[in-house]
C-alpha cells in the first residue's frame, strides 16, 4: 500500500453514507476559506473514501483517505469538518433491527427498483415533512394503497400542515403511539404493535419505514472545544423547513463556521476582512431569524366532515386566497396558511401574482393572476388550487393536481375529498391537463363545497397478488442463483441486497443498503469470496452464502448486544458527565457499524439519563471498517 503525505489547512470530509457530495454548505465554507488564503481540500464522493480522522494533541488531525487506485493519503489538517448524513432510527423496541424496518434511504432505493411489494399497508415511523412526503409518494405512485404515519416522540404532527393535507387526501392515516413489537408473519408481511392511550393496535404491514424526526438536532458541533474539529449534520432534512430553506440555512452556517477558521488559521488582507465582515454580519442576522423556529403549525379544525367556522373564516380572510372569484377564467388560491416561505410558487409565477414576505406570509395579487396554473405544477406539496366560477352559481370548477393512475376520464364522476380525505360529494371531471410534470384535473364541484373540497378520490387499485412470487413475475429477466445450495429465481442485474428483500430472505444487516460498503454490515459470500450485498449484482448461477442466524434484535446496539437497560445501569453506577466517558465504559457505538445504527438512540437514552450530549463527536479512528488487501 502506497501512502502519500499531505498538509492542508481545512479538510472537508464526507462521512459514511452521505449521499450528495459536496453539500451546498461545504461549497460555501470552502469558497470563503480559500478566499482568505487557506488551503482547503474536499475528500469524499465516488472513488475517494475517507477512512478516518485521528485528532492530534498538538491541534488539528490526521485524515486518512483512500483514493480510487487504493492509495492511502495521510493528510495533516489544522481544521476538520466531517459532514454526516442524518440517519434516524426510533428508540429500540422488540424486533426493530430486522428487515421489516428500513430507513428512508433504503425505502427510496427499493421504491426506485419498483419491485418490492408494498401492499397492503406501509407504516412510517415519524410525522415530519419527509415522512408525510414519502407516504404521499407511495400512495400517489400506487405502490401502496394505505400508509400509516406513527408519531411516537412528539405530541403533535411534526411536518407541515400542507404535507399532512396532501398525505391525508391520498388516504394516509396518522396515529399517535409507541411501537412496541415488530414481528414477521410471512416473507412479505410484518406485524407491528403500537401502544397508544387506548391500548395496543396491531397493524399488518408490508414494511415499516423509519423516517423520523426522533430528535431536534441539526447543524454543526465542535468537539473537543477549541480544537477546530467539527462534525456537521446536514440540515437538508430539517423537520420544520423546506428544502430551499435548509440549503440557505447551511449556507449561513458555513459562513459563520468559515469565520472561525479564518480567525484561527488565516491572516487575510484588510480588504477581504472588511468584505467578509459584511457577509458574516448578514449571515448571523439571517441565522438568528432562521434558527428561531416558525410558530406552531396551523391546523384546520373540523366540525364533523366540514371545516369549523373559525377555520373557514381563517381561510377566507387569508391573503393568499382570492377574496372573490372570477365568473370566467381561473384564479389561483394559495392556501399555505402556515409560514413556510419556500417561495417556489412565487418564483414560478410568470405574472408575479404571488408574493411571500419576510415573515413567510403568502399574498396573492388577484389582479395579476392569469390562472396559468404554473404554481400548481411547481408546488412540491400540491397546495395551490385553481378556482373558476361564481360563488352564487350552483357549481364552481376546481383544478387539482392528481397523480394516481388510472386517471379518470373526461365526463366521468369521481368522489370529492375534503382536506382530511373524506368523501363529501360526487363531482364531474371536466378536463384533463396531462402535458406538465404534474397531471391536473378540472372538476365540477357544488359551489357550497368550493372551500371544502381539495381532492379527488382515485379509482380503487386492482387487488394485488399476495404471493410475492407472482408479484415479481414479468418484472425483468429472472435468473437462477444458489442460496445455501437452494435454487432461487431472482431478477438479473439487480443488487444482491435488493434481491434478498424481494424474495423475503433479507437479513437485518441489509437494512442500511449504503451502496458503497461504508457501513460494512451486509457482508455475504459470493462464489466463495466475501463481498458486500449492496455492491454486488446478481448474475446467472451465482452461489450465495451467508450466516443465516440473524435474528431480529431488540437491542440498542445490535452489533455489540447492548440494551437500553445496560446503558441506564451504566449511567446509574458510573454517573459519567460526558458521552465520551460513557461510550468508553459502555462499549456502545464500538460495534461493526461504528454507531450508524445506534448512535442517535444512544444519545436519546443518555439525555433522558441526564447527560448532555449535544456537543459530542465521535472521532474514534476509523469511522468505518476498512479492508486492506
Partner 1 sequence: MKLRVDYLLIGTGAAPLLAAQKLTARGDSVMILNPDSDFFLENSELSLDLLSFESNTTDLSRRFANNFPEQVYRDLIPEFPGAVEIAREEDLRRSAGPYQVAEAPWIRSRHRLWVAPERGVARDRLEVLYLRALDLGLKPQWLEGLPLAKRFPGFSFRDVESRNLDGWVGFVGPRLGDIDVSRYRTGLLEFVRERLGRENVMTGVHLLNADQKGVRFQKSEGLPKNIEVGRAVLFFWTPKLDRMLRQNLERHFPRGLKAYQESASLQRWEEWDLLSRDPVNPFLVAHLERVRIWAHGEGPPPAAGWNQIKVMMREKSDTWVDQESFDELSRLVFQFMGWDRFTVRKMTPRALYRWNGMTPIEYETGGLRTLIIPSCDGPLHWIAGQVRKTIDGV
- Site residues (vs partner 1, CB under 8 A): 1-3, 5, 52, 54, 56-57, 62, 64, 72, 74, 224, 570, 573-578, 580-581, 584-585, 587, 590, 620-622, 625-629
Quote the least distance from Cβ 402 to partner 1, whole Å. 52
Q: Any alpha helices (H) in 266-296, and if so which ranges?
A: 270-291
**Residue with Cβ nearer partner 1 (61 or 398):** 61
DSSP 451: T
Quote the least distance from Cβ 573 to partner 1, whole Å. 5
DSSP 297: P
Quote the least distance from Cβ 498 to partner 1, whole Å. 25
**Residue with Cβ nearer partner 1 (185 or 575):** 575
**Residue with Cβ nearer partner 1 (465 or 574):** 574
Burial of 87 (0-12, 13-18, 19+ CB in 10 A): buried
Quote the least distance from Cβ 243 to partner 1, whole Å. 37
Which residues, at least 6 apart from 54, have a Cβ–Cβ distance to it below 8 Å? 61, 62, 63, 64, 619, 621
**Residue with Cβ nearer partner 1 (295 or 627):** 627
Which residues, at least 6 apart from 112, have a Cβ–Cβ distance to it below 8 Å? none
Distance CA 266, CA 342 (A): 36
Looking at the DSSP bridge assignments, the partners of residue 398 are: 387, 443
Task: Give the position of cell 446509574.
Answer: 572
Task: Considering only the C-alpha atoms of the chain, give the largest distance between any 2 of them, rounded to a whole number of Å.
Answer: 81
**Residue with Cβ nearer partner 1 (106 or 583):** 583
**Residue with Cβ nearer partner 1 (191 or 590):** 590
Quote the least distance from Cβ 522 to partner 1, whole Å. 14
Distance CA 223, CA 613 (A): 11
Distance CA 393, CA 406 (A): 31
Burial of 325 (0-12, 13-18, 19+ CB in 10 A): buried
Quote the least distance from Cβ 99 to partner 1, whole Å. 24
**Residue with Cβ nearer partner 1 (366 or 625):** 625
Cell digits of residue 18 = 452521505
**Residue with Cβ nearer partner 1 (347 or 615):** 615
Is 401 in a helix, a strand, or coil? strand
Is 346 in a helix, a strand, or coil? helix
Do 247 and 28 contact (CB within 8 A), yes or no? no
Q: Any alpha helices (H) in 333-452, and if so which ranges?
A: 344-348, 374-378
**Residue with Cβ nearer partner 1 (276 or 616):** 616
Do 344 and 379 contact (CB within 8 A), yes or no? yes
Quote the least distance from Cβ 10 to partner 1, whole Å. 20
Do 560 and 602 contact (CB within 8 A), yes or no? no
Cell digits of residue 459 = 379509482
**Residue with Cβ nearer partner 1 (138 or 564):** 564
Quote the least distance from Cβ 85 to partner 1, whole Å. 21
Beta-strand ranges (E) seen in 2-71 are 3-14, 40-43, 49-55, 61-66
**Residue with Cβ nearer partner 1 (1 or 112):** 1
- Distances from the Cα of 628 to the Cαs of 17, 71, 273, 289, 623, in angstroms? 20, 11, 45, 48, 15
Closest CA to 339 of 313, 315, 312, 358: 358
Quote the least distance from Cβ 528 to partner 1, whole Å. 12
**Residue with Cβ nearer partner 1 (52 or 408):** 52
Quote the least distance from Cβ 8 to partner 1, whole Å. 16
Closest CA to 264 of 452, 566, 60: 60
Cell digits of residue 356 = 411571500
Q: At what angle do helices 270-291 and 24-35 cross, to 10 degrees?
A: 150
Quote the least distance from Cβ 557 to partner 1, whole Å. 15
Quote the least distance from Cβ 629 to partner 1, whole Å. 5
Looking at the DSSP bridge assignments, the partners of residue 468 are: none
Looking at the DSSP bridge assignments, the partners of residue 5 are: 74
Asked if the peptide bond before residue 213 counts as cis, ω within 30 degrees of 0, the response is yes
DSSP 598: T
Quote the least distance from Cβ 546 to partner 1, whole Å. 14
Strands 146-151 and 121-125: parallel
Quote the least distance from Cβ 96 to partner 1, whole Å. 24
**Residue with Cβ nearer partner 1 (231 or 242):** 231
**Residue with Cβ nearer partner 1 (563 or 584):** 584
Strands 362-364 and 385-388: unpaired
Quote the least distance from Cβ 551 to partner 1, whole Å. 19
**Residue with Cβ nearer partner 1 (63 or 123):** 63
Distance CA 251, CA 241 (A): 14
Amino acid at each position: 500500500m502506497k501512502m502519500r503525505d499531505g498538509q492542508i489547512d481545512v479538510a472537508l470530509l464526507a462521512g459514511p453514507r452521505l449521499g450528495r457530495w459536496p453539500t451546498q454548505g461545504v461549497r460555501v465554507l470552502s469558497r470563503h476559506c480559500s478566499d482568505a488564503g487557506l488551503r482547503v481540500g474536499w475528500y469524499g464522493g465516488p472513488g475517494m473514501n475517507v477512512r478516518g480522522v485521528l485528532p492530534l494533541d498538538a491541534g488539528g488531525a490526521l485524515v486518512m483517505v483512500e483514493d480510487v487506485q487504493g492509495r492511502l493519503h495521510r493528510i495533516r489538517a489544522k481544521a476538520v469538518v466531517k459532514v454526516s448524513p442524518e440517519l434516524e432510527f426510533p428508540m429500540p423496541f422488540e424486533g426493530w433491527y430486522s428487515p421489516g424496518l428500513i430507513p428512508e434511504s433504503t425505502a427510496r432505493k427499493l421504491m426506485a427498483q419498483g419491485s418490492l411489494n408494498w401492499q397492503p399497508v406501509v407504516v412510517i415511523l415519524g410525522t415530519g415533512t419527509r415522512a408525510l412526503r414519502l407516504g404521499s409518494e407511495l400512495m400517489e405512485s400506487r405502490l401502496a394503497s394505505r400508509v400509516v404515519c406513527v408519531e411516537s416522540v412528539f405530541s403533535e404532527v411534526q411536518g407541515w400542515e400542507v404535507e399532512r393535507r396532501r398525505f391525508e387526501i391520498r388516504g394516509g392515516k396518522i396515529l399517535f403511539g409507541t411501537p412496541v413489537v415488530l414481528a414477521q408473519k410471512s416473507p412479505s408481511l410484518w406485524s407491528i404493535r403500537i401502544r397508544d392511550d387506548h391500548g395496543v393496535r396491531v397493524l399488518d404491514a408490508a414494511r415499516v419505514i423509519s423516517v423520523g424526526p426522533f430528535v431536534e438536532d441539526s447543524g454543526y458541533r465542535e468537539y473537543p472545544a477549541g480544537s477546530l474539529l467539527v462534525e456537521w449534520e446536514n440540515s437538508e432534512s430539517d423537520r420544520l423547513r423546506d428544502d430551499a430553506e435548509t440549503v440557505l440555512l447551511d449556507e449561513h452556517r458555513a459562513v459563520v463556521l468559515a469565520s472561525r477558521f479564518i480567525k484561527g488559521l488565516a491572516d487575510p488582507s484588510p480588504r477581504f476582512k472588511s468584505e467578509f465582515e459584511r457577509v458574516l454580519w448578514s449571515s448571523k442576522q439571517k441565522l438568528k431569524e432562521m434558527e428561531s423556529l416558525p410558530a406552531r403549525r396551523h391546523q384546520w379544525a373540523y366540525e364533523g366532515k366540514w371545516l369549523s367556522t373559525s377555520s373557514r373564516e381563517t381561510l377566507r380572510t387569508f391573503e393568499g386566497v382570492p377574496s372573490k372569484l372570477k365568473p370566467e377564467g381561473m384564479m389561483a388560491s394559495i392556501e399555505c396558511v402556515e409560514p413556510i416561505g419556500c417561495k417556489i410558487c412565487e418564483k414560478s409565477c410568470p405574472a408575479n401574482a404571488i408574493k411571500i414576505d419576510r415573515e413567510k406570509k403568502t399574498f396573492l395579487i388577484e389582479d395579476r393572476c392569469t390562472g396559468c396554473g404554473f404554481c400548481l405544477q411547481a408546488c412540491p406539496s400540491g397546495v395551490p388550487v385553481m378556482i373558476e366560477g361564481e360563488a352564487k352559481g350552483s357549481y364552481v370548477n376546481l383544478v387539482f393536481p392528481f397523480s394516481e393512475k388510472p386517471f379518470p376520464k373526461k365526463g366521468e364522476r369521481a368522489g370529492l375529498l375534503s382536506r382530511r380525505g373524506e368523501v363529501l360529494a360526487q363531482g364531474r371531471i371536466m378536463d384533463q391537463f396531462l402535458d406538465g410534470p404534474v397531471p391536473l384535473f378540472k372538476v365540477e364541484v357544488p359551489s357550497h363545497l368550493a372551500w371544502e373540497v381539495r381532492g379527488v378520490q382515485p379509482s380503487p387499485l386492482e387487488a394485488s397478488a399476495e404471493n410475492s412470487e407472482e408479484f415479481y413475475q414479468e418484472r425483468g429477466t429472472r435468473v437462477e442463483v444458489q442460496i445455501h445450495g437452494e435454487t432461487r429465481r431472482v431478477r438479473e442485474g439487480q443488487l444482491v441486497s435488493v434481491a434478498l428483500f424481494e424474495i423475503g430472505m433479507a437479513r437485518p444487516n441489509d437494512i442500511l443498503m449504503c451502496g458503497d460498503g461504508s457501513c460494512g454490515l451486509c457482508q455475504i459470500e459470493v462464489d466463495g469470496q466475501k463481498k458486500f450485498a449492496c455492491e454486488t449484482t446478481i448474475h446467472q448461477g451465482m452461489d450465495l452464502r451467508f450466516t443465516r442466524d440473524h435474528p431480529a434484535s431488540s437491542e440498542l446496539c445490535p452489533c455489540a448486544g447492548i440494551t437500553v437497560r445496560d446503558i441506564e445501569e451504566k449511567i446509574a453506577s458510573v454517573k459519567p458527565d460526558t458521552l465520551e466517558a460513557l461510550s468508553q465504559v459502555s462499549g456502545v457505538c464500538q460495534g461493526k457499524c461504528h454507531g450508524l445504527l445506534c448512535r442517535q438512540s444512544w444519545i436519546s437514552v443518555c439525555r433522558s439519563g441526564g447527560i448532555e450530549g449535544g456537543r459530542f463527536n465521535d472521532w474514534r479512528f476509523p469511522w468505518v471498517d476498512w479492508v486492506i488487501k
